Structure 1
Amino acid sequence: MPTENKLNEEILNSIAEGVITVDKTFKVNFINRVAEEIMGYKKDEVIGQFCKYILKCDLCQTKCPIGIVLESGTNLYDYSSVIYDKNGNRKPIKLNAAILKNSDNKPVGGVISFRDVSELENIKQGANLISNFFGIIGHSKAMQEVFKLIMEISESDATVLILGESGTGKELIADAIQATSNRKNKPFLKVNCSVFPQNLLASELFGHVKGAFTDAVKDRPGRFELANGGTIFLDEVAEMPLQTQIQLLRVLQEGTFERVGESITRKVDVRVIAATNIDIQKALKEGKLREDLYYRLNVIPISIPPLRDRKEDIPHLVKHFIETYSKLYRKTIPDISDSALELLMKYSWPGNVRELENVIEYAVVRTKNDNMIEISNLPSSIKDLSNGPLLSKKIFRNENAATVLSLLEKYKWNKTRVAKELGIGRTTLWRMLKQFDLVEK
């Protein structure tokens, strides 16, 4: 039969939280196994030591948890604090503290129980940082859904097709998919399918043997062989010649291919991430993209919305790019003025995030150190938006006074509905009416 003390020790060692007990002088007289694991100490190293030198709790620097209990007469429950383990690593904890009393109800020491909540803190920080997802800035609901989908497919090796206009950041999305995947530590190769003619693209992807074509002076492995076990990113995949599309389809279906000029069948294990900025349905209809290849690629589609459809991301992107290019050009550019940002919000961004990045780089270069970016520092394509009538002439070159008047009469001079019909703001419509000298009757 175990002694009472031994039994108590076994009970405390079976608890899932760290437990430390101290005597009346605040010296440690017991530590359980979980506490040893959390703090990195062995029992013999801490017995007889002052608690504050072992626990190194940030609360100990102001007032001892046991001291708080003694002063208040109330036990401490689920108190958030931080400790530092034997190696100096910071660990957030939740702790409880209570006074230990003998059979005469007199204080003989104290007990502190605590649990490591590092994982929970990391999750919270991850949630806070989701707006900067592997270098992709996106506060909008649409981008949050993209980030969520990437995390959901992190355990999968399924083929992904990224759809989006030029400049929306499809390659960054591919990078994020790779970084969160099971293959993140394996080869990751990228090929832009639109820059190679048919023979060279086939050689680039699948390799060739000596003499396969004029410049084939030696055997050469292709990207699929080099990426074996890893991932390949095929950008502008819909620009691939039809013959090469057949070869790619074979790799996706069977995991096999042949080098150009060779009849030996080779096998590979490669995950494919593809991207395109073309109208898929149009390409299928015109026969530029094989339907069977499209369905093989489109296992997990990810659509990246254009910047004009997620303008709430613009202020965050602007801030990010100002910080990036301020460091690059060794400047201190604190911010952008409200009037300049307002213009950026009004612009349609046909070049998407890439165009915005170029605009901010231009503005940072033209802005004096320690100054804010103003309208005068922006490119003329953006500044022209602030020129009143000029704006109307540029944006509404296909509209005339008769068209606008017709809409005004149709909606009984409800300018909000007219502006919506034209796809503009009320302020822009007001300037247009002034230009056309249209006054409400």
Structure 2
Amino acid sequence: MVKQKKAAVVDATEIILESISDGVFTVNHEWRITSFNRAAEEITGIPRSDAIGNFCWDVFRSNLCKEGCPLRETMKGGRSFVSVSAFIINKNKKRIPISLSTALLYNEQGDILGGVETFRDNSVVEELRRELNGSFRQGDMISRSRLMKKIFTILPKIAKSDSTVLIEGDTGTGKEVLARALHDQSLRREKPFIAINCGALPDTLLESELFGYKAGAFTDAVRDKPGYFTMAEGGTIMLDELGETSPAFQVKLLRVLEEREFQPLGGVHKQRINVRIIAATNRDLEALIEQGYFRQDLFYRINIVRLQLPALRKRKEDIPLLIERFIDKLNRLQDKAVTGIDAEAMSWLMSYDYPGNIRQLENIIEHAFILCSDGEIGTRHLPGYLAVATAQPGVAQLSSIQDIRQFSEEEAILKALQRNGYNRLATARELGMHKTTLFRKIKKFNIRLPDADGRSALSSKA
């Protein structure tokens, strides 16, 4: 009789799980799926027979699987999560926004059998949200800016092409994020995406990293090492800061682009490549061509499709959206409960010009998280250079938003000059602006420079 009652309860539970619209799956301690309801099949597009017995991350392909998985935190510490925003990639490789909740799974004796996760398809909700707030999304990029929407509109068409793309934009504008969005929407999305900062490496090391080398190519080359072009076969490679490379390296890269093959260092035979190339730079390549620092033929070869990312100061309507995203991200990573930002702090952030662009804004919010664990972020939580300097001797009272903005920009430029030994070219690169713009601002703010500005030292090193 007891067994019959238990069987009836089990049957009733299964009926309920099969009838609800939320997806439900359970995992054991080995992270293998032990149950998978009908709604889970419909949302993911994966049949139950293919899901059960497999690892959850192979089936439930979420952006949280690699980092910040709520179910993992639940299994590890016993803490349940409710309505966490995320997305999954379904069987048809379509991105599905979801909200998920987690809990521990117990048997009748109170032993922990594993974990259970419920998730809801929020596609309709997300679509309505985009319509209501006038924002538009591509991959991990979000914007309501007219300038960004132009890029978002043509992005799917560019992604379907295999043509080389040139992405231009100041430091911190999100060039790598845009490149990854192109890759994720392309036919190569199942293959690797590799980004390399060309400006951070000298020519010889850059060549070995990109093309690889054979054993014996140089003293320490005891075995063959494949380069990034080989590792990215079938996928996409992003060559960031291409404007920082030497003309000698540019000749070799041009040959690779034209012939679609390369020769590893110390190798005898050439290797064919099937890789899409995305070039990126924060420099004005046409100006570099006139100055003799960049090859014109290489510029024409990479300038097939050209995308120009606007600086954050030109898309300030996106600042509240970006702040909201950074707060959500940091709440998940740091297990905090910051609810937003107050009006005065938002006013400060809206008035600033961000020489470091989106990366600088994210760093500002991360700084605020150090001082703010819950509630709203206020001006007291923001970095000092954003504050109105009323107590410093020799600094005039700032009485308007325009004064605040100019003071912040002046201080940012002065500190960057000091960090770079007053080398104006290096400072312009760090701030993501053209050197003539920096010279104009130095003159505008009456910034005094020492007689030796570091340029001679740079020249001698070159």
Give TM-score, length-normalised by structure 2. 0.57
For 2:342, the aligned partner's letter is: S
State the 1:197 CA deviation: 1.1
Report the Cα offset of residue 130 of structure 1: 6.0
**Matched positions, count:** 291
Larger Rg: 1
CA distance in 1: counterparts of 2:249 and 2:39, whole angstroms? 59
Distance in 1 (alpha carbons) for counterparts of 2:151 and 2:389: 32
1:154-193 to structure 2, matched below 5 A, reads 154-193=159-198
The one of 372, 375, 384 equivalent to 2:376 is 372
Give distance in 2, aligned partners of 1:310 and 1:180: 24
Residue type of the alignment partner of 2:201: F
In the aligned structure 2, how far is the partner of 1:150 from the partner of 1:362?
A: 33
Q: 1:255 to 1:127 in 2, by over 3 A?
A: farther
- Equivalent residue for 1:219, pick from 214, 217, 224: 224
Give secondary structure in 1 for the equivalent of 2:387. helix
Asked if 1 retains the 8 angstrom alpha-carbon contact of 2:139 and 2:181, the reply is yes
Q: Which whole-Å CA distance do the structure 2 matches of 1:234 and 1:350 have between them?
A: 23
Q: Distance in 2 between matches of 1:150 and 1:182?
A: 13
Determine if the alignment matches structure 1 residue 200 to structure 2 residue 205: yes
Instruction: Provide closer, same or farther for how the CA distance between residues 316 and 127 of structure 1 changes in structure 2, counting only shifts above 3 A.
Output: closer
- The 1:262/1:139 distance shift into structure 2, 3 A limit, reads same
| CA gap 1:226/1:89 in 2 versus in 1, 3 angstroms | closer
1:153 match: secondary structure: helix
User: Is the contact made by 2:340 and 2:377 (CA closer than 8 Å) also made in structure 1?
Assistant: yes
Aligned with 2:368: secondary structure? helix
In 2, the alpha carbon distance for the partners of 1:85 and 1:330 equals 32
- Which residue identity is paired with 1:305? P
Contact residue 232 and residue 272 of structure 1 kept, 8 A: yes
Q: CA deviation at 1:328?
A: 2.0
* TM superposition shift of 1:281: 2.0
Matches of 2:245 and 2:309 in 1, distance apart? 21
In the alignment, is residue 345 of structure 1 matched against residue 372 of structure 2? no
Q: Does the C-alpha gap of structure 1 residues 340 and 262 become closer, same or farther in structure 2, counting only changes over 3 Å?
A: same
CA distance in 2, matches of 1:218, 1:191: 22
Determine the C-alpha separation between the residues in 2 that align with 1:189 and 1:147: 22
| Pairing partner for 2:277 from 272, 278, 291 | 272
Distance 2:409 2:43 in 1: 60
Taking the TM superposition and a 5 Å limit, the aligned residue runs for 1:261-410 are: 261-369=266-374, 371-384=375-388, 389-390=397-398, 391=403, 394=407
CA change 1:196–1:85 in 2 (3 A) is: closer
CA contact (8 A) 1:166 1:352 kept: yes
Contact 2:389–2:397 (Cα < 8 Å) also in 1 = no
Number of the residue aligned with 1:133: 138
1:154/1:123 CA distance change after superposition, 3 Å = farther
Are the counterparts in 2 of residues 329 and 365 from structure 1 also a CA contact under 8 Å? no
Mapped partners of 1:356, 1:234: distance in 2: 24
Secondary structure at 1:372's aligned position in 2?
A: strand
Cα–Cα, structure 1 residues 163 and 154, in superposed 2: closer, same or farther, change >3 Å? same
SS at match of 1:319: helix
Alignment equivalent of 2:258, drawn from 232, 253, 260:
253
2:193, 2:236 within 8 Å by CA — same for their partners in 1? yes
CA distance in 2, matches of 1:386, 1:163: 38
Q: What SS is found at the alignment partner of 2:339? A: coil
For the residues of structure 2 that align with 1:123 and 1:361, how far apart are their CA atoms? 26
Which amino acid is the alignment partner of residue 199 of structure 1?
A: T
Q: Aligned AA for 1:377?
A: H
The letter of the residue matching 1:235 is D
CA distance in 2 between counterparts of 1:126 and 1:226 reads 39
Q: Can you give the 5+ residue segments of structure 2 that lack an aligned partner in the other structure?
A: 1-18, 22-36, 45-120, 412-462
Deviation at 1:190, TM superposition (A): 1.8
Q: Verify the 8 A CA contact 2:386 2:408 in the aligned structure 1.
A: no
- Is 1:343–1:385's contact at 8 Å kept on the other side of the alignment? no
Aligned-residue identity in percent: 38
CA drift of 1:364 comes to 1.9
Unmatched 5+ residue regions in structure 1? Answer: 1-55, 59-83, 92-117, 399-441
- Contact 1:237/1:274 (<8 A) preserved: yes
What CA distance in whole angstroms lies between the structure 2 residues aligned with 1:290 and 1:254?
17
- Tell me: CA distance 1:208–1:229, structure 2 relative to 1, closer, same or farther (3 Å): same
Tell me the SS of whatever aligns to 1:364: helix
Q: Is the 8 A contact 1:207 1:259 kept in 2?
A: yes
Find the residue that maps to 1:302 and give its secondary structure: strand
Deviations 1:40-65 (A, max 9, x none): xxxxxxxxxxxxxxxx899xxxxxxx
Whole-angstrom CA distance in 1 between matches of 2:366 and 2:304: 37
The superposition leaves residues 83-117 of structure 1 with CA deviations (integer Å, 9 ceiling, x where unpaired) of: x98987479xxxxxxxxxxxxxxxxxxxxxxxxxx
TM-score (norm 1): 0.60
Q: CA RMSD in A?
A: 3.2
Contact 1:325 1:361 in 2 (8 A): yes
Residue 230 of structure 1 corresponds to which residue in structure 2? 235
Distance 1:271 1:90 in 2: 32
Q: Which amino acid aligns with 1:351?
A: G
Distance 1:190 1:88 in 2: 35
- State the 1:201 CA deviation: 0.8
The whole-number CA distance in structure 2 between the counterparts of 1:192 and 1:340 is 34
Q: Per-residue displacement from partner, 1:233-277 (whole Å, max 9, x unpaired)?
A: 111112222222112111211111111122322211111011111
